[in-house]
Amino acid sequence: MDVGRLFGYAKTSFYHHESPLSLPVKSSNTGEQSTSLLDLCKRVTPICRLNPLLFNGHLQTFWTAVKSQDIPIYYKRRIFFAEESSIAGTFAIDFVVSPYKDTDESLPPRTTYYNDVEFDEIGSMDTKPMLVTLHGLSGGSHEIYLRHVLRPIVEAGWEACVVNSRGCAKSKITTGVLYNARATWDVRQVVKWLRKTFPNRPLFGIGYSLGANILVNYLGEEGENCMLEAAVDDGNQHEKHADAISKNPRVNIEKVLKIKYLYEFDRELQAPTWGYPTEAAYYRDASSCDSLMAVRIPLFAIHAEDDPISVREALPFQEFRQNPFAVLCTTSLGGHLSWFEFGGGRWFAKPASQFLLQFFESVDLDKLQKKSREKVGNGIGVGGRAPAAFNPMRRRLEKL
């Protein structure tokens, strides 16, 4: 019998490269010039003690839908138009703002629209760090799990925004172009816009569940050119948008309306929308496992090994061991985006928020940016010499 489990104690494990990324630190009284990414991740990760009554991943995940809790985060929304015609459509960005009394019944709680005058004045030269958040499947800025992390972040003086996937958080789908697990175009446009609008702000990213997959795919696609400083990766509205979806000639709306299971949604909607022959082909292409190898900014991933949705067998342990820019922390208990403690708190919010806060406070970002980001050798060598190198973003060996 696992005595620790009876008292809610979860085992914490770290998976990483044998020589984790060295982070230059700001001047300190200790005289320390650098710390490793692994040491920082371990330092911000507290003992994981969860509610012992929720003793497995299914109960932890189930409690997410039962537990009623409120963390008041206020937003102002702005609708963005996709810049590329091939991915035409709109998406909503919710910016965290100070509390206000206005309401808008057409939007999630504590969310209203920016008016044009307010939004025209949003630009700033300040140096406050800013967090870009990507939610999970069919979620949005209203989700409680992301507000658990946003609260300590904004209380520390950060700015933050949430990129709502198309059609989520009561946003409208305006074209037949939806989003999928590899839909990195909207977050890419947002990050570019943020860099232009707030030129002095260090930008950070965090993703949850499907949003974590999108974030890692984005980081891999951007590689050494990524505009984010660091990132954290935390492990059915189709009827509402039927009119917009029906505009896509490749989609059979009658089959979509009869969907019962998630894989059917991917088979009848995602696959034909994006040109995948099967839902399995979509899953293989959208997976961020290979993209992880191309990440070139510090990445801290947190995952529960008893997650009933994103199971342990699917975790890319070997990929984390190959990339010095990434560290994976797993817990033996926690479920899917749950990790409920006594009192309703969520354990994962502590290491996630503290990693971001301490990274900004202690790491010398200028030196880190100037530091050479050496590419990780991924080729399979024969006799000490690799005949080819693996390109993770093309998923193939390429001749040297």
Q: What are the catalytic residues?
A: 209, 307, 336
Q: Do β-strands 159-164 and 111-113 pair in parallel, antiparallel, or remain unpaired?
A: unpaired
Residues 146 and 165: their CA atoms lie apart, in Å, by: 14
**Tokens found for residue 177:** 């172009």
Residues 221 and 308: their CA atoms lie apart, in Å, by: 29
3-state secondary structure the chain: CCHHHHCCEECEEEEECCCCCEEEECCCCCCCCEEEHHHHHHHCCCCEECCCCCCCHHHHHHHHHHCCCCCCCEEEEEEEECCCHHHCCEEEEEEEECCCCCCCCCCCCCEEECCHHHHHCCCCCCCCCEEEEECCCCCCCCCHHHHHHHHHHHHCCCEEEEEECCCCCCCCCCCCCCCCCCCCHHHHHHHHHHHHHCCCCCEEEEEECHHHHHHHHHHHHHHHHCCCCEEEEECCCCCCCHHHHCCCCCCCHHHHHCCCCHHHHHHHHHHHHHCCCCHHHHHHHHCCCCHHHHCCCCEEEEEECCCCCCCHHHCCHHHHHHCCCEEEEEECCCCCCCCECHHHCECCHHHHHHHHHHHHHHECHHHHHHCCCCCCCCCCCECCECCEEEECCCCEEEEC
**Tokens found for residue 35:** 């710390």
